[in-house]
Amino acid sequence: MSRERITAARLEALARTLNRVLGTPEDQFSTGLDNHLQENPGNFHISMQNDGYELQQVCETGGTTGYSQHGHGTARQCYEYIHAFMDGAMAVKRAAGGGA
């Protein structure tokens, strides 16, 4: 079985899908009334650092929090983690009667 290459673009597309599934903002930043960029609390996005990738979420109080146990990892690790995260989110929505 061949394993397809996981790219940064693929990870970012998965993060956008996760935002749609959870109803969180799809864009990490937006332009405020003063024309300055501001972070969108709740947004999930991919952080890239030192050739590693991590799923992160913008906090209500500013800044971000990471959702992996070991920080930035390989693209494959991040891909698998996002899929597990999404599967869990969908299971919670189904259990709450929110559909698939």
Q: What is the pLDDT of residues 35-75, one digit of tens each?
A: 888 889 999 999 999 999 999 999 998 889 998 878 899 99
Strand partners, 54: 47
24 belongs to a structural domain: yes
pLDDT value of residue 98: 65
- Predicted local confidence at residue 19, as pLDDT: 95
pLDDT tens by residue, 74-89: 999 999 999 999 999 8
> Could you tell me which residue, 69 or 90, shows the higher pLDDT?
90
How many distinct structural domains can be found in the chain? 1
Answer yes or no: is 17 within a domain: yes
Q: Each residue of 20-33: pLDDT tens digit?
A: 989 999 999 888 78
The answer to whether 39 and 29 are in contact (CB under 8 A) is yes
Domain containing 23 equals 8-94
Q: Is residue 100 part of a domain?
A: no
Question: Could you tell me if residue 3 is inside a domain?
Answer: no
The answer as to whether 99 is a domain residue is: no
Q: Radius of gyration over alpha carbons of the chain, in Å?
A: 15
Residue 77 lies in a domain: yes
Spatial separation of the C-alpha atoms in residues 52 and 95, rounded to whole Å: 34
